[in-house]
Structure 1
């Protein structure tokens, strides 16, 4: 079993959802970002999404766009992001880690080289937001052949005719984007989340993780009662943006992560 399969199986036995956290690699700088990454599991993150900085993150809202700019201004590269994973894995062999981003940096790095280096570094899966299933051969197929899960995004506009195509070849979990728009947008209603989860369940047995617009422990708990995972990104990234020092950034992200984890872990009690 992969780390993702193992983690979701463990959480199912515990009757609770996963807290899936997103941060951008190299934001605000390599050392601070690495300290945050290493601290997330201890603060309650069950799965980590690590963003691969890119100059044109079109699916992301202002908070994550600015995180990309901060990271790139401090010379973060895809090679450095993979090195962060290696350093993280030196002290953590069990927390699933997924790289999230866009295809352009991977294409520039070289697909075969990227897959080999990601697998060697200890990456568990990929979320590539601008690569539809019609292009599975470009990355999804070779990545899965190397043992990397390929996680698909589904949205409120992905109808029942399109869903089987989107989910074909998906593995790890399904990431449901609960609102039509960019990251950090307003949250969906809980009624919508419940209906969307039920609809996805009719099409897949993979865990469903729901994100976009989740900011508070209470909101995370509400979603955790209805899905297998809760994804939080912009709210954590904003802790870095407003910090006055590297230590304040670390404390802000890990402190909010701990609060979110408490909400998620107590949701079904």
Structure 2
């Protein structure tokens, strides 16, 4: 995945959407993935529902609850992913408890042959990444870089990072109603300057002007809550039309 995204970023800005897997039922997941690919997704993040999603705002929390109502589990999600043929890499985004309780070794074995090429675990500190990395094989563990990370820490975080750098644009949780710091572009430029792989801005990006602003200094954006909300309110087709207006 690292090579694919790095090469792609040399000629175009990257768009990585996030959706909550199974929020509309797992039967709808193949259609949602196909729509996101059609709208130009370079990779797709699939949220794994969890009972205490500390990094997620109200929109994604509500989507996780809907997924639970549809009786979505990590095991059921993997079974669906084993039948899906995605044209772009898929990334599972979830919390430590979900993956470690399942078992990293078993997870990797069952993901073999799927299009899952990365994991994002927001509550797994960099210092504890060795709890997962030795078992992951070809699956990348993507790294988040926060606004509060000093330059020395940023260099440490990006040194061994894979896939892309997820540059968090707010202090706090995900959501569409965010106020971005005045010096945010300078911070993102600092991350970009020391990273050998694409840097994508994420959290709170919901409008075209956000995308255009962050693309000045980053290789692309991650959009989640806006898409999750639209899928719930408008369905797959109209969400595709919305994405086309933003990207």
Do they fold alike, i.e. is TM over 0.5?
yes
Q: 1:33: Cα distance to partner? A: 3.0
Moved more, 54-63 or 212-221: 212-221
Residues 55, 25 of structure 1: alpha-carbon distance in 2 compared, 3 angstrom cutoff: same
Q: Please give the alpha-carbon distance, in whole angstroms, between the structure 1 residues aligned to 2:154 and 2:73.
A: 34
When normalised by structure 2's length, the TM-score is: 0.92
Residues 45, 250 of structure 1: alpha-carbon distance in 2 compared, 3 angstrom cutoff: same
Paired position in structure 2 for 1:265: none
Q: Please give the alpha-carbon distance, in whole angstroms, between the structure 2 residues aligned to 1:85 and 1:257.
A: 23
| Equivalent residues in 2 for 1:45-64, closer than 5 Å | 45-64=41-60
Q: 1:161: Cα distance to partner? A: 3.0
What's the secondary structure of 1:112's corresponding residue?
A: helix
Q: Please give the alpha-carbon distance, in whole angstroms, between the structure 2 residues aligned to 1:38 and 1:182.
A: 28
Q: Please give the alpha-carbon distance, in whole angstroms, between the structure 1 residues aligned to 2:58 and 2:191.
A: 29
**Does the aligned pair in 2 maintain the 1:193–1:223 contact within 8 Å?**
no
C-alpha offsets along residues 27-77 of structure 1, whole Å, 9 cap, x if unaligned?
A: 121122332122211122222111111111111000000010000110111
Residues 83, 105 of structure 1: alpha-carbon distance in 2 compared, 3 angstrom cutoff: same
| Unaligned runs of at least 5 residues, structure 1 | 262-269
Paired position in structure 2 for 1:5: 3
| Unaligned runs of at least 5 residues, structure 2 | none
Paired position in structure 1 for 2:243: 257
When normalised by structure 1's length, the TM-score is: 0.85
Paired position in structure 2 for 1:129: 122
Q: Please give the alpha-carbon distance, in whole angstroms, between the structure 1 residues aligned to 2:42 and 2:153.
A: 30
Residues 179, 24 of structure 1: alpha-carbon distance in 2 compared, 3 angstrom cutoff: same
Structure 2 counterpart of 1:81, from 77, 82, 86: 77
Q: Please give the alpha-carbon distance, in whole angstroms, between the structure 1 residues aligned to 2:142 and 2:28.
A: 27
Residues 1:199 and 2:185 are matched in the alignment: no
Residues 202, 216 of structure 1: alpha-carbon distance in 2 compared, 3 angstrom cutoff: closer
Q: 1:168: Cα distance to partner? A: 4.3
Paired position in structure 2 for 1:39: 35
What is the CA RMSD across the aligned residues, in angstroms?
Answer: 1.8
Q: Please give the alpha-carbon distance, in whole angstroms, between the structure 2 residues aligned to 1:180 and 1:84.
A: 34
Q: Please give the alpha-carbon distance, in whole angstroms, between the structure 2 residues aligned to 1:101 and 1:216.
A: 25
Structure 1 counterpart of 2:227, from 233, 236, 242: 236
**Does the aligned pair in 2 maintain the 1:26–1:34 contact within 8 Å?**
no
Give the number of equivalent residue pairs.
Answer: 246
